[in-house]
Amino acid sequence: MSSTRREFLQTAGLAFGSAIALPSWVFEHEASASAATIDKNGLADVALATAKRAGASYADIRINRYRFEAINTRERQVQQVSRSQSFGFGVRVLWQGTWGFAASREVTPAEVRRVTQEAVGIARANAAHQRKRITLAPAPKAVTSWRSTFERDPFDVPLDDKIQFLLKLNEKALAVKGVSFINSGLVFVNEQKFFASTDGSRIEQYLIRSNPSFNVTAVNRDNGDFQTRASLLGPKGIGYEYLTQHDWLKEAELAGNEAVMKLQAKPVAPDKYDLLLHPTHLFLTIHESVGHSTELDRALGWEADYAGTSFLTPDKTGKFQFASKIVNLYADRTQQGGLATTGYDDDGVAAQKWHLIKDGLFVDWQTTRDLAPLIGRKTSYGCSYADSWGSVPFPRMPNVSLEPAKENNKLEDLAADIKDGILFHGRGSYSIDQQRYNFQFGGQTFYEIKNGKVGAMLRDVAYQSRTPDFWNACDMLGGQSTYELSGSFNDGKGQPGQSNAVSHGCPIARFRGINVLNTAARGNR
């Protein structure tokens, strides 16, 4: 049985109308009053006083509400509209140098008291197995509120407007001769967070993240070959205005044309090439080889069972030549539009910016209040994050970005000195080892560079390298005009697993003599 889009919207309106009408901080759940009637400061007083009476040296409570919306379409049809909300609290205590954590969706004074006592009980049980007592780096008291930068809250935008945006985008791609399929989607996330600690902090935050995306497929029906081209821009920590700041219709048309072109593109000949990596591609290489390798908990073996370790170790700090001297990579939780941008982390530490790689030298780590003392640091860089009120805060990646050149270098300037090279756009398939050392990256589109000029399209391209070899091969960077911010909406880590959103900004960059594979060749599939 089929239905029209209008009938679908009417049905969806009935199913989701109550969620649409809810104002900020309102979420009805069983066995509890609505969030709008919650006295968060009063509940914090209950939790912190209970923890202190039980002997905790430190305690914090997070009372958080999360909203999620996803809309998916294919060609001229709406496939799915998904909306969810979650509201609850989590209490963390430090008892004799050992963490304890418990959480609940029943947000009442009695339940806060019970859960806090449970967290202390868990800490006492954990203490029997704690090999080294935890010490927290100090954090200044903060009583404040913070709101991420956005012009229009996507949760205030009618559903029909969002669906129309996607269907128009689909039509633009389908109008390209040779395009057979397109999937498109919108995902929006809203985090409303309250944090209070025994250090005296009381912090409220309101964060928005937006993720438009699409994937176009062209098919050669004579030989069964098909090629795809996904959207190049990544998600950002801004509002619904993202859908007007970029010409998505133009990119959908371009994606359709490039998907068709890939059907006839020349397969790459494996060899060593000079590479020009566009920001829409390079951000993922930064994420995997730099972002993850500079996580201190990974280097200390805390994530070895799941997410792996790092080829970097604390003794290399300030001594290891990670990259060429033109390379400066920094962590930044204040970057406008960044997915990991915030006012304060889930330890109550203010957002900061600092270098991880300075003039090519590895100089610093990502830290939290309990990690910083382990390497002799007196303060935390504020990298603690939990993806839910029911999740334990632990070290997560900040925005990690590559500084552009001071000169106004453009793509043509970087290409001019390349005799035989390849230009990469977009993220593709990739693999990297557990130490973030050996890797392979593909992309979306590839163009050969001959004698300084960008030429014909290539296909089936990926490059291989080792992290320090790759970054030491970087010999020229684009200027600020080539800088773009992209990122990942879902970065998994931890057991039980949690998801973090994180951005990476960079200019276009040139890398000399990198090994390139043909991914369609036998043995490389």
What pLDDT was estimated at residue 222?
86
Q: Is the pLDDT of residue 9 over 90?
A: no
Rounded CA-CA distance 507/97 in Å is 44
Of 24-33, 183-192, 202-211, 392-401, where does mean pLDDT reach its minimum? 24-33
What are the residues whose beta carbons fall under 8 Å from the beta carbon of 76, sequence distance 6 or more? 167, 170, 171
Where are the strands (E) in 148-201, listed by range?
179-197
Mean of all residue pLDDT scores within the chain:
92
Q: Is 70 exceeded by the pLDDT of residue 150?
A: yes
First vs last C-alpha separation in the chain: 41
pLDDT band at 10 (very low <50, low <70, confident <90, very high): very low
Res 28: pLDDT? 33
342 phi and psi, to 5 degrees?
Answer: -155, 170
Which residues lie below 8 Å from residue 122, measured CB to CB, with a gap of 6+? 100, 101, 102
Within 13 Å, how many C-alpha atoms sit on residue 109's CB side? 7
- What is the pLDDT confidence band of residue 221, given thresholds at 50, 70 and 90? confident
Confidence class of residue 2 from pLDDT cuts 50, 70 and 90? very low
Whether the bond into 496 is cis, omega within 30 of 0: yes
* 457, 486 Cβ separation under 8 angstroms: no
pLDDT in tens, 233-262: 999 999 999 999 999 999 999 999 999 999
- At residue 513, the pLDDT reads 98
Measure Cα distances from 340 to 235, 352, 396 in Å: 11, 11, 9
Residues 6+ apart with CB under 8 A from 115: 47, 89, 91, 102, 103, 104
Position 503 pLDDT exceeds 60: yes
pLDDT tens, residue by residue, 385-440: 999 999 999 999 999 999 999 999 999 999 999 999 999 999 999 999 999 999 99
Q: Are 372 and 381 in contact (CB under 8 A)?
A: yes
Does the pLDDT value for residue 35 go beyond 60?
no
* Element holding 121 (H helix, E strand): helix 109-127
pLDDT of residue 424: 98
**Rounded mean pLDDT, 171-182:** 97
The proportion of the chain whose per-residue pLDDT surpasses 90, expressed as a percent, equals: 89
- The pLDDT value recorded for residue 14 is 31
| Position 130 confidence tier, pLDDT thresholds 50, 70, 90 | confident
How many whole angstroms separate alpha carbon 82 and alpha carbon 85? 11
pLDDT of residue 522: 59
Taking only the tens place, the pLDDT of each residue in 136-149 is 999 999 999 999 99
- pLDDT band at 521; cut points 50, 70, 90: confident
Give the chain's largest Cα–Cα span. 76
Distances (CA, A) of 357 to 39, 87, 126, 225: 44, 39, 36, 43
Task: Specify the pLDDT at position 84.
Answer: 97
Domains of the chain in start order, with CATH, are 5-264 (3.30.2290.10), 266-518 (no CATH)
For residue 29, the one-letter residue type is: H
Which of these ranges, 9-13, 313-317, 486-490, has the smallest mean pLDDT? 9-13
Tokens of 281: 């591609």
More confident site: 522 or 254? 254
For residues 382 and 350, is the Cβ–Cβ distance under 8 A? yes
20 pLDDT exceeds 70?
Answer: no
Nearest residue to 394 (alpha-carbon basis) of 287, 504, 284, 307: 307
The dihedrals phi and psi of 68, each to the nearest 5 degrees, come to -140, 135
Pick the closest to residue 422 from 285, 525, 268 (CA basis): 268
Give the pair of three-digit tokens for residue 129: 């197995």
With helix as H, strand as E and coil as C, how does 25-67 read?
A: CCCCCCCCCCHHHCCHHHHHHHHHHHHHHCCCCEEEEEEEEEE
**Is the Cβ–Cβ distance between 196 and 137 less than 8 Å?**
no
**pLDDT of res. 224:** 83
- Cα–Cα distance, 345 to 348 (Å, whole number): 5
The structure's pTM equals 0.92
Q: Any idea which of 5-14, 80-89, 462-471 has the lowest mean pLDDT?
A: 5-14
**Residue 338: half-sphere exposure toward Cβ, Cα within 13 Å:** 25
Asked whether the beta carbons of 268 and 461 are under 8 A apart, the reply is yes
Residues 453, 420 contacting (CB under 8 angstroms): no
